[in-house]
Amino acid sequence: MSSTFDKRAVEQSARRAMDQRQYEEALVHLWKLADRGNVSEEEFKASVRDMATCYAALGRMRAAASVRLYLGDRNGAFNASSLPLDRARVQVDAKDPEGAAQSFEQAGWLGHAALQCEQAKNDRGARVLWDRLATDPRLHDDLYTAGLVHFNLGRACLRLGDRSAGRKAIVHAMHLLTAAADGFEAKGQRERAFDCYGVLLTIGKEGSFENLAEGYLNCIRILREDGLKYYVIQYYEDFQALAMQRNELHAAATLFREAADYSRRQGLPYGRQYRFRGAEASTLQGDRVIAEGGSPEMAENAYAAAIDGYNELGLYTKVRALYGKLATLELGDKRKARYERLAKRLEAMPDDMTPMQGFPDYLRMATAYPEIWALDVIEWEQGGDPAETMIEVALDRRWADFQRRRAALVRLKQLGAAEPGAVLTLTELATLLGSVELYVCLAPLEKLMTHDDARVRQSAMRATRKLFFKRSFVSIMQGLGDTAPEVRREALGCVQTLHFVHALDPLSRIYRESPDPEVRRAALASIGKVNRVEAVELLIDALRNGDRQDKDVAKENLLRSDQAETKEMLRREAAAETGPLRAELEAILRALGG
């Protein structure tokens, strides 16, 4: 809004138009008042309250009902619109899950209805609804959503005590999700594959350790590739705890060692305690072998792994004790004598008492395990409808006021428009969606990206520039290949703007695969702004193998790099090279003061 905006004059114009029953004109002024960055909550409510009056007078009752619900007038909202979907929203807001389930079912939204039944502890109703949804023909080619629906069906059956039906549905869900994960990874959509593995690990928590391991290990792999190191550690921690609870000591010891190595490579201070916990797990494994009458050689292998860990930590008292245990095993006189000598040799060795730091609770992410089996069914059923997506944000008081207001405006823009499908309405919708700045805006924008009119796609692409999520690159890659040059320009702007830690993977794919030199250089420049060691490696590789312009971009970004590892990496690469590349690496190193 312009700094010359005269709020009082606009308010007077709106009031005058309403008094004269010129409601369309009044709405023009009221939108100016509501759609401001610095509007207070009270001012916003006053403006949309008048908008509701205008919408009702014009017969646009869904928009009027939406305003009343946002303002907390549930009775007014319920009476304003008789559509089951709108009434369901009122019932959800009133915390009436049974009523909401019935309304959602009437609207044909069986997944929403089933989830409301679960809220009401009506597992029998939820089972029936999930079973009906599982036969929806739209799921035939959608392995991921079909897998989620069968997972939800299986859980409902198990809660009702029907283990046979529950197990059958869960196994089918596993097959569907595994196939979906393979498909997503083949298309480079690792973030979608991650969701599949997240459900598999949830299945494993309630079932076999093999499923648990498959889910966790794949999630950890993807998180590592995205550079989300604290999520990686949290997933290691949780998997380690579950492995120990299930007495999977060999697996737990392996996980502790992997976490120690990862912590060391990432410069995190947790490696020492993970190495210690791994050695403890191996010790317990050796003790269990002996207690269960297993072979001495198996116990020896477990103790040897523990000794390696304790030796690395300088905990010689622990090492000496284990050599003592090994000396009591039936391993032959020579090996027993050797272990006795090793234990005696360590008698005078003091322990290294360096403190061990564990992963602190305050770094644990509350959002590490989203209930995607519910969230993604909801998204699928909403079908990218901006009004239906944003009403949930507008009514959720956990979001910031400005986000709730912007979400409410998205719904009003769609439901209150004289021509909801007009190009101007859709371009304005896209702009408003971008201003909400939440992940849930991506699905509606992805749908707008399929519109026939390039102006709508252009607006959707421009809005995506404000959404710093890895999934944003699904639309960006689509936009880069669009037939309209204006859409491609907006997509290029996104590539230039969206450089955050887990954008490295899609940016790297764009750099490797795009046939457009300008796009490749933009991706390389954004990679240079990502604070990850892998980004530096890619810049050095571009300096080695790229064309002249790629080399210039790589050099410019290396010269600006402030990562601690950059100098050492340049030094190592220069030592391994000869000729012009070595001279160039050394020149960059000198410029960085190295």
Q: What is the dihedral of CA 50, 54, 55, 61, to 10 degrees?
A: 90
Residue 37: pLDDT over 90 = no
Q: Angle, to 10 degrees, between the axis of helix 548-560 and the axis of helix 579-591?
A: 30
For 565-587, what is the mean pLDDT?
A: 86
Between CA 300 and CA 168 the distance in angstroms is 42
CA 409, distance to chain mean position in Å, is 26
- Identify which of 96, 94, 27 has the alpha carbon closest to the alpha carbon of residue 55: 27
Report the distance separating Cα 57 and Cα 15, nearest Å: 15
Please, which pLDDT band fits residue 576 given cuts at 50, 70 and 90? confident
- What is the chain's alpha carbon radius of gyration, rounded to the nearest angstrom? 30
Give the per-residue pLDDT at 468.
94
- Is 4 a residue whose pLDDT tops 80? no
Nearest partner of 446 among 406, 389, 408, judged by Cα: 389
Integer Cα distance of 282 and 194 in angstroms: 30
How far apart are alpha carbons 115 and 125 in whole angstroms? 10
Backbone φ, ψ for residue 18 (5° rounding): -65, -40
Phi and psi at 437, nearest 5°, equal: 60, 40
d(CA 149, CA 443): 19
Q: Is the pLDDT of residue 3 over 60?
A: no
Does the pLDDT value for residue 2 go beyond 80? Answer: no
Structure tokens at 11: 């308010």
Closest to 278 measured CA to CA, from 245, 302, 242: 302
- Shortest CA distance to 448 belongs to which of 437, 433, 435? 433
Residue 27's nearest CA partner among 7, 3, 49 is 49
Most confident of 110-119, 310-319, 465-474: 110-119
Res 189: pLDDT? 86
**How is residue 445 written in tokens?**
């924008």
- Average pLDDT value for the chain: 93
Encoding tokens for residue 227?
């550079």
Burial 87-112 (b: 16+ CB within 10 A, else e): bbbbbbbeebbebbbbbbbebebbbb
N-to-C CA span, the chain: 49
Torsion 411-416-421-425 (CA) sign? negative
- List alpha helices for 437-565, DSSP H: 442-448, 454-464, 472-480, 485-497, 504-513, 517-527, 533-545, 548-560
pTM, entire model: 0.88
Average pLDDT over residues 369-387: 95
Q: From the centroid of its chain, how far is CA 161?
A: 33
Q: What angle do CA 485, 491, 492 make, to 5 degrees?
A: 90
Q: How high is the pLDDT of residue 46?
A: 95
Cα–Cα distance, 416 to 51 (Å, whole number): 9
Task: Write down the architecture of domain 385-591 according to CATH.
Answer: Alpha Horseshoe (1.25)
Separation of alpha carbons 146 and 140, rounded Å = 8
Predicted pLDDT at 594: 67
The pLDDT score that the predictor gives to residue 377 is 97
Residue 1: the pLDDT is 46
Distance CA 184, CA 189 (A): 5
Three-class DSSP category at 17: helix
Query: Tell me: the pLDDT tens digits for 129-176?
Result: 999 999 999 999 999 999 999 999 999 999 999 999 999 999 999 999
Lowest mean pLDDT among 239-243, 257-261, 347-351, 377-381: 347-351
* Cα–Cα dist 505/225, whole Å: 8
Q: What six digits make up the tokens of 221?
A: 């792999």
Q: Which pLDDT score, from 0 to 100, does residue 430 have?
A: 97
Model pLDDT for residues 483-522, shown as the tens digit of each residue: 999 999 999 999 999 999 889 989 999 999 999 999 999 9
User: Considering only CA atoms, which of 462, 522, 526 is closest in space to residue 500?
Assistant: 526
Closest CA to 543 of 504, 502, 587: 587
CATH 1.25.40 fits 7-99, yes or no: yes
Contacts with 546 (C-beta within 8 Å, 6 or more apart), sequence order: 524, 553, 554
Q: Are 329 and 286 in contact (CB under 8 A)?
A: no
The per-residue pLDDT for range 392-404, each reduced to its tens digit, is 999 999 999 999 9
For the chain, which residues make up each domain, given as ranges? 7-99, 385-591
- CA angle 294/299/300 to nearest 5° reads 140
Which DSSP string corresponds to 24-63?
HHHHHHHHHHHS-TT--HHHHHHHHHHHHHHHHHTT-HHH
93 within 8 A of 393, measured Cβ to Cβ: no
The closest of 273, 216, 279, 271 to 243, measured between CA atoms, is 216
Distance between CA atoms of residues 334 and 331, nearest Å: 8
Per-residue pLDDT of 237-267, as tens digits, reads: 999 999 999 999 999 999 999 999 999 988 8
Length of the chain: 594
Is 458:487 a contact under the CB 8 Å cutoff? Answer: yes
Closest by CA to 240, choosing from 275, 195, 194, 207, is 275
Residue 541 has pLDDT above 50, yes or no: yes
Three-state DSSP class for residue 450: coil
209-216 long-range Cβ contacts below 8 angstroms, 24+ apart: 209/243, 209/246, 209/248, 209/251, 211/174, 212/239, 212/242, 213/239, 213/251
| Residue-wise pLDDT tens digits, 45-101 | 999 999 999 999 999 999 999 999 999 999 999 999 999 999 999 999 999 999 999
The SS3 assignment for 494 reads: helix
Chain centroid to Cα 295, Å, comes to: 46
Q: Where are the alpha helices (DSSP H) in 208-330?
A: 209-225, 229-245, 249-265, 271-291, 296-313, 316-326
Residue 329's closest CA among 301, 292, 299, 306?
A: 299
Distance CA 299, CA 295 (A): 7
Q: Do residues 449 and 455 lie in contact, with contact meaning Cβ atoms separated by under 8 Å?
A: no
